[in-house]
Structure 1
Amino acid sequence: MDTNISMLSTLFLALLFSLHSTDAAPEWGYKGDSVVAEDWATVHANCGGESQSPINIDTYYAKEMEFDAWKFTNYDVLVDNETSIMNNGHTIQVNPGTYTAGSTTISGGGLPSVYSFLQLHFHWAETNDAGSEHTRNGNAYPVEMHLVHWDSGNYAIPPLAVTSAKGLAVLGVWFEVGEENPAFDSMLDAISETNVMYKTPNLGSYVFPESALFSLGDLLPADTTKFYRYDGSLTTPNCYESVVWTVFSDPIQMSEEQIEKFRATFQNEPEPNPIPENYTAPEELPIGLNYRPVQDLGDRTVYKGFATLSAPESTVPSTTAGATSRHFDTYTVFLLSIVHYIFWLSEDMYKFPYSP
């Protein structure tokens, strides 16, 4: 058997195993009848660990540290035309197409490896005095965005990285109420103008049209040289302690009207179309809030980081539709296609373990 095909088969089986290797557990959530955040450890033991996230960042005790320059590869390039947005019942999540996932990476900034972009999602609450998962000096922001990356420098596929120390790198961005932010228009329009405001049936997704594509770099603060750094966990079950956290110091602005679009989302699926006879519509359940309370820092150190400013690096054309990856060989691109097909369609993988 060809060596590459054998490797592909092995990795594919490893992926399948990761999808089904966990025992069934009660549905977790943040309020209502689900297992709420304060009780997650009763059904997901990892959530009771000693290096959990999020945390309160006490700037007085944060240790100053200078890091090497960030390297944001293809963060200035439009995401590909397979990029999609969905409501998984817990959050609004954006999933990259295979090409973007295979070519968009972060490194430097004190990270121990090269990390590939996996997904981004948001946390919020019903009012502006809460919503962010991380707080600063006890103060919360109304929204926090997480851009999740996996260690593609050391692991073949995301499921192998997610349970490993420093296997994930998450960029956290705080939002404050201010001016309208056009960088998020295509996401927010998708929420309000499509059924993404409801849990996406069968965990499908809405693919962005060509006219609504965006670059990840436009979603970050203007100054990425200042940030907080610590080692922690996913902030949803199974709470694996595998995350190198970066929370940027400078919040970005979003208007009150834009933030309200997150609050107008629901845990339940939309009514079927067409509506069958004798159909009884379920009660609409707003997501409402989806942040985990801060966890004990313990003996961990939070660093107040300073990184040298560096220009974004592009290795692909600015128009990516129909392109083939220069970063990976043919077999890896094929593998990633299979990974993403199963990964994005599996409900288990949305609940566990990819939503820090």
Structure 2
Amino acid sequence: MASKLNLIFIWYYLSFLVLYSVCFREDQWGYHINSQWGDEFNVCNHTHDQSPIKIVYKDSVYDPVLTPPILHGGWTYVPTSVLMLQNNGHTIELVFKDRHIRMHGAHLTHEFYLKQCHFHWGESIDQQGSEHWLNGHQYDAEMHCVFINVNFVEGTEAETYDREAWAVFGVLIKFDAEKTNPYIEYLLSHTEAIRDAGQNYSFNQEEHKADIKHLLPDDLSEYYRYQGSLTSPPCYEFVVWTIFHNPIHISTHQAERLFELHNAVVEQNEGFTNITGNFRPPQPLAGRTVFRSFNKANAASTPQTTLLTIILLIATAFILY
């Protein structure tokens, strides 16, 4: 009897150790300790081909072969039965449970299917949190839509060695009190059901179909392209990045719901903490070339430089007058 109890105790003890080690490993790549990622995930310490980066229009190279990406398989209207919204403890994800949406073109050599879209945001509603910077400007937030090469089984070793294993769309986001994004509203109206890490919400019971196109800018022809990595551990360098030049807008009220989500970290006597600042700082460009699909006279400007230009013009006109 005693030996049986001992075996039961040992089994529970070993189970606890396994569970603890998994949870401990997961927590180690929290965004607030990103400088320590390399201690556990060696690739994160690489000084080349890491993401995100700072993109500067005048330093990028125009490439006419970069045609707009072609989306098919029901991008505009996706049956809600294939959608799931989840809180993974690091961000909010819109997960596509089948390979319904496909993408090719844009000078990619493979076809890809859409796996999920997720978001990155700042420490607070008035602090920027995009991962990629454009012309010296960090945006309020950023969305990534992750496409997987159809030739790979996700998670296989071969995937880590192919430079085109994943193709990720990066969409910069501006918070605007006056502009409400109807599809973002549709998604975030369910955040109460996924407040805590590990919770998910299935759209199976909803009768209408999702209009996914509102997640992207209206113009898909203007973008930047470079070879990079995942922006979270294990930081594998198998990502072809497509960063759209034009941002999308969501209202500040909609954005506030993101800051209400709880992460997987429990503070003593305080319960779960909120997900904030879930972005990785820009990494060295390290000699890489950033290509762009377009030429535009005012593309090198940012909201700040545009405002400064207007002020200078008004001041000059006043002096001359």
TM-score range for the pair, normalised by the shorter chain length: 0.7 to 0.9
- For residues 1-356 of structure 1, the aligned pairs below 5 Å read 25=25, 27-31=28-32, 36-49=33-46, 50-66=48-64, 67-73=66-72, 74-98=74-98, 102-125=99-122, 126-152=124-150, 154-155=151-152, 157-160=153-156, 162-163=159-160, 164-178=162-176, 179-191=179-191, 193-194=192-193, 196-200=194-198, 204-208=199-203, 209-211=205-207, 213-268=209-264, 283-306=271-294
Counting strand residues as a fraction of each chain, which structure ranks higher?
2
Contact 2:80 2:208 in 1 (8 A): no
Aligned Cα RMSD in Å?
Answer: 2.2
State TM-score, norm by structure 1: 0.69
Identity of aligned residues (%): 32
Larger radius of gyration: 2
Structure 1: runs of 5 or more not aligned: 1-21, 271-279, 308-356
Q: How far off is 1:69 after superposition?
A: 4.1
SS in 1 for 2:120: strand
State TM-score, norm by structure 2: 0.76
Per-residue CA deviations over 1:54-98 (Å, capped at 9, x if unaligned) read 000011101011223421012112244131111111000111122
Structure 2: runs of 5 or more not aligned: 1-21, 296-321
Instruction: Tell me the distance in 2 between the aligned counterparts of 1:68 and 1:90.
Output: 33
Q: How far off is 1:237 after superposition?
A: 0.2
Instruction: Tell me the distance in 1 between the aligned counterparts of 2:35 and 2:278.
Output: 13
Aligned pair count reads 262
Instruction: Tell me the distance in 2 between the aligned counterparts of 1:131 and 1:143.
Output: 5
Instruction: Tell me the distance in 1 between the aligned counterparts of 2:208 and 2:257.
Output: 17
Q: How far off is 1:138 after superposition?
A: 2.1
Q: Which 4+ residue blocks in structure 1 deviate beyond 4 angstroms?
A: none
Instruction: Tell me the distance in 1 between the aligned counterparts of 2:237 and 2:265.
Output: 31
Instruction: Tell me the distance in 2 between the aligned counterparts of 1:162 and 1:285.
Output: 34
Structure 2 counterpart of 1:41, which letter? G
Instruction: Tell me the distance in 1 between the aligned counterparts of 2:185 and 2:252.
Output: 13
SS in 2 for 1:285: strand
SS in 2 for 1:107: strand
SS in 1 for 2:214: helix
Instruction: Tell me the distance in 1 between the aligned counterparts of 2:259 and 2:78.
Output: 27
Q: Name the CA shift for 1:227/1:206 in 2 (closer, same or farther; >3 Å).
A: same
Q: How far off is 1:288 after superposition?
A: 1.4
Q: Name the CA shift for 1:184/1:213 in 2 (closer, same or farther; >3 Å).
A: farther
Counterpart residue number, 1:277: none
Structure 1 counterpart of 2:69, which letter? W
Per-residue CA deviations over 1:197-222 (Å, capped at 9, x if unaligned) read 2212xxx5210242464132221100
